[in-house]
Each structure stands twice: as C-alpha cells, then as structure tokens.
Structure 1
Amino acid sequence: MLIKQIDMRARPVKKIAALGDSITWGMSASSDNDRWINLVVSMIEYYQKEKVELINQGICGNILTTNSPAYEMSAKPSGMERVYADIISNKPDMVFLAYGLNDSRGGTSPDVFRKEYQKLIEMILKEIDATIVVLNTYYMHEEFYKSCEGWNKSSYSITEEFNLIIKQLAEKNDLIYADIYSAQAGVDWIVSDDHCHPNDLGHRIIANKVFEAIVRNCSFLNNNNQ
C-alpha cells in the first residue's frame, strides 16, 4: 500500500546549525567543500535558489552527555552542555544532530543515551521552531572499535542497537531521520586510512543520504522546478 509523505517543511531554509563530533566537523575531507555538511548545504541552495548560512558546531572527540564513562576523555563541553550556546542561541531554522558513535565507543549505556538524547531534542524543540534532521551513526573499520584505549566499548552489534534508538527517537519526536549507516556499512573503501573518518567519497555518500531524507520530507526543495 502506497503511503504519501507528510510535508514537514514548505518554507526555504535560511540558517542551518549542526551539533556533533569530528565527522560532523568534516574530519578527513580534502577541503571544506568536500565535507558532507557543506555538500548538503550546496544542494539545498541549488534547489531552493536561496543562500543558506551554515553554523557547523561539530567537535572532534565530542560526546552527547556528561553521564558517560568517556566524559573525562572526551572533548568538552558535551552536546548537552553546549546545545544552548551552540545551537539554540543561533536560532537556526534547520538543525542537524549526529551523536552515537563516540557515545557507544566510550561505554555510554543505551538507556542513558536514549534518555539524554531525548532531553536534548526536547530542549531544541521547546526553544526554537526548527526542522530537525537526526543522523544515525557513521560506519568505521572494525579494527578501530578495538584499537583506541578507552574508546573500545562498542562493536557493530552495539552500533546497530544505538542506531535503532536514534530511529525510534526520530519517530517519537517527528524528526527527519537520515539513515546514513545503511549506505556506508561494509564499504571499506569510503573510510580514510585512519579507519574511522570518511574520505571524500564517504562524505559524498553521507551528504546524499542526508539530502535524500530532507527531500523526502520537505517540499521547499522543489522551488527550482516550479
């Protein structure tokens, strides 16, 4: 049975803010323009025929919450600690959220991750009228799950558990869900030589999945064809 998509945004996007970790920031991309988030913004600008201000608040080594065994090792402040200053205060009309990989690798329990991510989503929805796009986790090589001291608490099966939580949170809060992991998983040649971060091709794959999720849920991108 065919189910029609619900239009979650008809107005053009003027400002996008992103909260996340090193891959959100753009690690291992050859240039700023090769970062997945810059690629997404470029596609949005092309189809809506309007410029977009990008505020990229990705931090290398960042995690979601202070309630994690990895907090002391992580790059601070956590997502929960900085969401007001880095996201809400900027009043974006679209927000990208990307947590889960460092959280699972650092030993954050699934229950804590679910509760803290829900709190963060509620903070944003309460304060600003923004369309939220939530990404699931990024794919990395298996050896990287084991080779980083203090960040070796995850696995592919735990990653899938965290991805399910992220999907459920997106459905619960009527967010746009970008399933980037399904496009990356098992494709080892789109991960850089550090075994963790995507190379330029990997960033392109992430960008395509995020843009696809936005297209499937937002009619404003059709402006170029009206």
Structure 2
Amino acid sequence: MTMETESPKDTQPQSRWRRWSRRAVLELGYLVFLLVLLEAMLRLAGWIWLVPRNLSQGPTNPNDSEIRILAIGESTTFGQGVSPEDAYPKQLERMLNDGSEKTYRVINTGVPGQTSTSILRNIRYQMETYRPQFVLGLFGINDTNEALNDLSARVAFGFNVPEWVADLRIYRLACIVRDYALHHPKVEEHGAWTFFDRDQRGENGAWVDNPFFLEQLKRNTAEIIEIVRSEGADYAMLSYLKSNEPLRKVLVEIAEENDVLYIDLFDEEAGNKGLFTADGFHPNEEGHRVMAEKIYEGLLENESLGESR
C-alpha cells in the first residue's frame, strides 16, 4: 500500500495564505493600537489643557456658607483668548463680592467646542459635584456649527454611527479634517472657519435656519433645565454679544417655554466696539467685562440672588 503525500507545490498556496493571514492580523492589531494610543493622547491633551483653569476654580468641596453659581457653556464661557481671571465668570464673581456681606463663588465649567449634547451629558455630575444654587447657561452657537454638531458628526461620512463612536476624539478629528478639506476654499477669514461657511447662508446672505440643529438645542436645553431644577437650583439663559438671528430667537423661545430668566447680552454694534479677540468672535477682556456687567445687572433686577446681597 502506497501513501500519497502532498507535493511542495500543493502546500505553497496554503503556507502563503497563512503568512498573509498572520501579517494581516498583526497589521490590524498595530492599527488598532495606534488608534487607541491617539485617542488616549487627544483626551490627555484636552485634560492637560484644562488643568490650569480647573485648578483656578479652587476646591471642589462646596462651602455651605457661600452662594455658588455654576457657569456652563463652551469657549465663550471658558474664556478662549483671555486669562481665566478675565473670563466673565471670574469678573462676575468679583462684582458680586464687591461690598457684599455674602460670599459668592462663580464656577466656570465651560469647555471649547461643547454643544448642548455634551453639556447635557455632564450637567448632573457637575450639579452633584459643586451643588450650585444658581446656573448660568451660555451655549448654542456650536449646535449651529456643522463641524461640531452631534447630528452632523454622526452622518459625516454618509452613514449613521453610534453615539459612542461620534464621541470619540479621533472620530471628531476626522470630521474636522473632512470638513476642512471640503469647505476651506469657500470660507470667510474669521478664524472659526466652519461657522462662517458660505454654504450656511441663503441667497440673500441671511443665515440658514437649520430646524434639526435648533430643535436638538431646544430639547437638550429643556433636559438641562429639568436636571438643574431637580437639584434645587435656579437657571438663567444667556444670549451672546454677537450671534445669528435664528439662534437668538430660539434662545428666547427656550427661556419662555421653560419659564426661566433670560438675560439678553446681544449688542448689534458689538463688533464695532473693540469687544472681541483677533478671531472676531470670542470676547476679549473688555468684552467679558461687558458681559459680566449685564449679567450682574440682570441678576439684581430680577432678585435672582435674593433681595439683599
């Protein structure tokens, strides 16, 4: 009886396939490792960037003898382009404490790039951490920004992605790179290039009213206000020194529908008063001072902090 054996020619395709398979697995593993490493580095970079501002907030343990005001928002609240001491929350804190028998603490939790969705994600933790008696909300502009809005990010590449994917830093970075490549030749030179994309305007030059983005803003803000109230705090809606008409109308509607204080900071001539940094959008030190003064006056006029300070 003779036994048949495989010839070297028969085994070559199999061995070649095994080598390719092993190589593909190794390269895929290496790619996953690089993506995880990049995600970790982006998150670490964001954390390091926020450390100086977070340290300036003082201790997280609330002091029952002080009146705590939580300022939530994005880069405007954060104070992009100015020092933490010059951002409106700190300037407001100094105004409130000037000549007052009470002690006021204004806690700034603004983070550049935030939308109403990301603020909603974090608000309960912030309420439980700082236990504020009052919350100031200044956000919405990034919800109208196609590159930052969560609805756009989830379909940026032509298909829907899960929320956890849209929240990845590397995915957000890919969306920004994609939008930059597609829109950069058509934008105005305003620094915040995505927001000033000409495609976001109608034929008459007016801003396009995107109902999907604005409805999302209304729903998210209503939930934020509900959480704030459930923690025993009051809420005030702030407008921007400079913004588009559809957003201003929606902010007023949100305040009316949820029965919260609305403090209007908008100034049609703000752009001509030297209140902004070089990018033409973020307030400078003087702009933040004007904001703080208007908020201070609005709180006092409505006795939001009690009849006496």
Whether TM exceeds 0.5 here: the answer is: yes
Q: CA deviation at 1:191?
A: 0.9
Q: How many residues align?
A: 181
SS class of match (2:232): coil
2:111 and 2:304 map into 1 onto residues whose CA distance is: 31
User: Per-residue displacement from partner, 1:154-208 (whole Å, max 9, x unpaired)?
Assistant: xx5xx22121111122223232211112376443521111222111111111111
Please say if residues 138 and 180 of structure 1, whose CA atoms lie closer than 8 Å, have aligned partners that are also in contact: yes
2:232 and 2:297 map into 1 onto residues whose CA distance is: 22
The structure number with the bigger radius of gyration is 2
1:210 and 2:295 correspond: yes
Residue equivalent to 2:261? 176
1:46 and 1:222 map into 2 onto residues whose CA distance is: 16
1:58 and 1:167 map into 2 onto residues whose CA distance is: 21
AA matched with 1:122: E
Q: Which residues of structure 2 form unaligned runs of 5+?
A: 1-64, 150-211
Mark the CA change 1:79 to 1:195 in structure 2 (over 3 Å): closer, same or farther: same
Which one of the candidate residues 161, 165, 187 is aligned to 2:272?
A: 187
Q: CA deviation at 1:222?
A: 5.9
Q: Which residues of structure 1 form unaligned runs of 5+?
A: 1-11, 66-77, 140-155
Task: Provide the identity percentage.
Answer: 25
2:304 and 2:214 map into 1 onto residues whose CA distance is: 34
1:81 and 1:199 map into 2 onto residues whose CA distance is: 28
1:167 and 2:252 correspond: yes
Please say if residues 143 and 214 of structure 2, whose CA atoms lie closer than 8 Å, have aligned partners that are also in contact: no
2:141 and 2:272 map into 1 onto residues whose CA distance is: 17
Residue equivalent to 2:133? 93
Q: Any residues of structure 2 matched to 1:116-155 within 5 Å, and which?
A: 116-126=220-230, 128-139=231-242
Residue equivalent to 2:179? none
Q: CA deviation at 1:123?
A: 1.6
Which of 1 and 2 has higher RCO (CA within 8 Å, sep 6+)? 1
User: Per-residue displacement from partner, 1:43-85 (whole Å, max 9, x unpaired)?
Assistant: 11125322223321100111111xxxxxxxxxxxx11111111
RMSD: 2.3
User: Per-residue displacement from partner, 1:2-28 (whole Å, max 9, x unpaired)?
Assistant: xxxxxxxxxx96111121101111122
Structure 1-normalised TM-score? 0.71
Residue equivalent to 2:115? 63
SS class of match (1:191): coil
User: Per-residue displacement from partner, 1:75-114 (whole Å, max 9, x unpaired)?
Assistant: xxx1111111123442100111111111112356211211
Structure 2-normalised TM-score? 0.53
Q: CA deviation at 1:41?
A: 1.2
Residue equivalent to 1:41? 93
Question: Larger deviation: 170-179 or 114-123?
Answer: 170-179
Residue equivalent to 1:103? 143
Residue equivalent to 1:18? 71
2:278 and 2:77 map into 1 onto residues whose CA distance is: 18
Residue equivalent to 1:68? none
Residue equivalent to 2:81? 28
1:40 and 1:120 map into 2 onto residues whose CA distance is: 22
